Amino acid sequence: MDQACVLLVDDEEDLRASLTQGLELSGHRVIATGNPEDALEKIKRDFYGVLVTDIRMPGTDGFAVMRKALEIDPALPVVLITGHGDVPLAVEAMRSGAYDFMEKPFSVTSLASVAERALDKRRLVLENRKLREELADRTGIEGRLVGRTPAMDQLRRTVLALATTDADVLILGETGSGKEVVARALHDEGPRRDKPFVALNCGALPAEIIESELFGHEKGAFTGASGQRIGKLEHAHGGTVFLDEIESMPLELQVKLLRVIETRTIERLGSNKSIDLDVRFIAATKDDLEQAGREGRFRPDLFYRLNVVSVSIPPLRDRLEDIPLLFQHLAVEARARYRREIPDISESYLAKLMAQDWQGNVRELRNVADRFVLGLEDQGEPEAVGSATLFGQVAAYEKALIAAELKRNAGSIKATYENLGLSRKALYEKMRKYGLGKEEIDTQG
């Protein structure tokens, strides 16, 4: 993003020079001109600035300049400079899209303050627009497994490498981390993409009908079996079977599943005929299946049969840098579901999201994105740390990471500075700077 600027349009040379000097002394970069056409040529959709224009000018007046500027980008902040008699017109112009108006005479300090707020708004618009454009450019695997961190890059590479094979896969990940998303990516990026993807939640299948659901049955196989039924496994022929929460499958059924995976055949209930099965098995678990096997809760032989290749999904708290892009992605999905526009997402709100530990992972973040799009999430006031500058943005991110690490370590100072690779003194200084954990500093410093 270019350096922010105030684009000033005024035909009075002395006033233009005075405003320019005052704005520059306030820290703003100013591009000043008496020619409205010159100003309009500088405005593009990626223009990082605010347009400040006088209303009363010969030829093209300020209203016309504003209209033309807003045709280029309706989100551009426009500040009108008005005489006393122009105030009603300026109010009407604000209803048409102006950001604010300044009534003469006004102090340059006031104008600088209005410009600063307008530039904050403009930066937010451009950053949100950039995130959405980046999401729009992401297709295929990048559009499914969203993130910029090395962990997500590695996950995408692993999925693409495995997608073209028929190897059975065990997906490891915490609740809500996106195990089914990874499973679908393995299916859709491979040669089975045009065949069925059958997802089975092993913890949700009723015990009394689970065998019929999986293997199907013949007419008369049991009371109430009035006709032949094709089971889920047979229905998936040629495609992929996704066994979610595999740790919840009853032990007696694990034996039968093991045989199916080994022989790639099934028998419907009430039949002795073997049916060849061409499927790929992808299982997912949040548990340590080896430990479950030692405890007698899961068959070790089934674990070793499923665990041909394992894929681990990093928890969201270990890839906090992905939250801005991922949250925008989830908000876009929510917009499609609820047919609502996405509010602009402030830096302070993103910093707040990045400071949480997200025990529910992406599923929890999705719920927050839904509430955000529905207007039920309060972004709150901007925090003291963070600004439009690179320094401010880095500070906001650093604060979020330290807060997240403190929370993850239950307030332990030693664990926090060791995990972040800092000295004890450096961590204390940063905590004081950002107002984090004052109680711990006072008691341990």
Separation of alpha carbons 145 and 153, rounded Å: 9
Q: How far is CA 321 from the centre of its chain?
A: 10
Residue 249, CB-side half-sphere exposure with 13 Å CA sphere: 28
CB 347 within 8 A of CB 311: no
CA–CA distance, 400 with 406 (Å, rounded to integer): 10
pLDDT of 78 higher than 90: yes
Q: Quick check: pTM over 0.75?
A: no
For residue 111, the SS3 value is helix
- pLDDT band of residue 437 (cuts 50, 70, 90) is low
Q: Which of 404, 411, 398 is nearest to 442 (CA)?
A: 411
What tens digit of pLDDT does each residue of 295-321 get?
999 999 999 999 999 999 999 998 988
**pLDDT tens for each residue of 98-114:** 898 888 888 999 999 99
Residue range 230-258: mean pLDDT, rounded: 93
Residue 214 has pLDDT above 80, yes or no: yes
Q: Are 297 and 186 in contact (CB under 8 A)?
A: no
Token pair for residue 268? 């419907």
Say how far apart CA 71 and CA 43 lie, in whole Å.
10
Provide the percentage of residues in the chain whose pLDDT is more than 70. 91
Lowest-confidence segment of 74-78, 173-177, 217-221 by average pLDDT: 217-221
At residue 26, what are phi and psi to the nearest 5 degrees?
Answer: -85, 0
Of 119-128, 147-156, 277-286, the range with the highest mean pLDDT is: 277-286
pLDDT number for residue 429:
76
Given this model, what pLDDT does residue 381 score?
A: 42
- Comparing CA positions, the residue from 320, 316, 374, 392 lying closest to residue 350 is 320
Q: Return the top range by mean pLDDT from 53-62, 112-121, 163-172, 429-438.
A: 163-172
Q: Is 58 helix (H, G, I), strand (E, B) or coil?
A: coil
All domains of the chain, ordered by start, with CATH? 5-136 (3.40.50.2300), 144-314 (3.40.50.300), 317-444 (no CATH)
pLDDT tens per residue, range 333-382: 898 888 888 888 877 788 888 888 899 999 999 999 999 999 888 776 43
Percent of the chain that is helix, strand, coil (3-state, to 5): 50, 15, 35
Q: Is the pLDDT of residue 391 over 60?
A: no
Band of residue 209 on the pLDDT scale cut at 50, 70, 90: confident
Q: What is the pLDDT of residue 269?
A: 87
